[in-house]
Amino acid sequence: MKQNTILKTFVSRFLILILNFGLVIYSTNMWGSEGKGVISIVIADLTIISFFANIFVGSSVSYFASKFKTEEILPFAYIWSIIMGVLIPVALSFNHASEYSDYLMALSVVSSLLAANVNLFVGRQNIRMFNLYTVLQQLIHIVFIGIIIYIVKITSVNSYFIAQISCFGLLFLISTFQVVKNCDFKNVCLSRKIGYQLFNYGWKTQLSAFLQFLNYRLSFYFLEYFKGIISVGIFSVGVAFSEAIWTVSRSLSVVLYADVVNNKNVNEAIEKTKVSMRVSFLVTALFIVIMLLIPGQVYAAIFGKDFSQTKEIILYLSPGILSIAVSNIIGYYFAGINKLRILNIKSLVGLVFTVISSFYIIPLWGIKGACIVTSISYCLSSAVLFWRFYQITEFSIHDFILSKKEIILLWSKMMIKK
């Protein structure tokens, strides 16, 4: 991996974490558990739409960025973004009516267009620009919220979505200028062969990602149906805290993926995957312990009295959070070598358990039940990836423990500037 890239990616993810929690704290205090529940449901809907859009704008853009010209990839990505951004929200509105459907449609289009540009940076191993834009998505969103609430005087939860649309739109325009300034527009085309390869790779990765998303968020919809929108708001804060622990895992995964898709040495890719697993396991375990040591009253004081269950939610989710933090690394390795079938299998295993168990456990135990279902689902899906990865390589307990030599080497690589 490039020197200093891991550190920069981690720092950017940490900044996103801080900004995101600042936004969570503000939204819970500004609009309460009900408002937070509305935001969580709309963002969950947006994520569902993004899985369809990402067939052409997601990892397929990253994977083929070094294989095809930008002018041959982006036309598919942009056209698909607009089509999916309009059609899927309309389809969702028939079964999931919402007064925020117009915002959802606008968010879907601009977020997908921006994602195409950002994922192009990943494919070109321009992780610096990827990190910059991921941080700016949070930072500028917060700035626009402040402008809309305190200057424009729109104080309802609508301001959250208006600010997010404005943020994505601005960043898309800026990133598009950077992307196309070196393009030769004479080469712009819609090649059937290239389109097929983008689609073939994209739908396989997105099927896995969509199934895994359902593992992550299906409990939101079960909670809304059985216990109401307020329970979703309470649960979502605990989930946000728990998933924030994945900062290290996601940072390593992005760098690893960009490296694997451009690396022809199989043994080197496996070794880098194992090192990433070690780091992710140890740091994630440390973060979980720290969060569990924080008294429950502190969470209630920060987010409001409705969120006194946050520590309990983190506790129940922690086994699953740790397993996903490590298995994410393996998942990106398989995606990088275009072995996508196992990703679909592991996601399907978790999803089947989530659907069947949620009908019985969530109505009975509510938020606690949602935590238990989610955590077990995470562990089951992770177990499938561990099993497959260790079929192609030898298992060792040292895969989860960094040696002194590796710690020194990793630290030196992170500290050395380009």
Q: ∠ CA(222), CA(26), CA(165), 5° rounding?
A: 75
Contacts (Cβ under 8 Å, ≥6 apart) of 107: 42, 46, 161, 164, 165, 168
Q: Convert the pLDDT of each residue in 9-35 to its tens digit.
A: 667 767 777 887 788 788 888 888 778
Of 79-83, 122-126, 253-257, 322-326, the range with the lowest mean pLDDT is 253-257
Q: Convert the pLDDT of each residue in 147-157 to its tens digit.
A: 999 999 998 88
Classify each residue of 78-100 as buried b or exposed e, where b means 16 or more C-beta atoms within 10 Å of its C-beta.
bebbeebbeebbeebeeeeeeeb
**Banded model confidence at residue 109, pLDDT cuts 50, 70, 90:** very high
Distance CA 193, CA 197 (A): 6
Q: Where are the domains of the chain?
A: 5-415
Query: What is the per-residue pLDDT for 223?
Result: 85
Which carries the bigger pLDDT value, residue 162 or residue 35? Answer: 162
What value does the CA radius of gyration of the chain take, rounded to a whole number of Å? 21
Q: Convert the pLDDT of each residue in 273-302 to its tens digit.
A: 887 788 788 878 888 898 888 888 888 887
Two tokens, residue 57: 């704008």
CA 183 vs CA 72, 119, 162, 188: distances in Å = 10, 17, 32, 9
- Whether 57 and 80 have beta carbons less than 8 Å apart is answered as yes
Of 230-234, 243-247, 260-264, 413-417, the range with the lowest mean pLDDT is 413-417
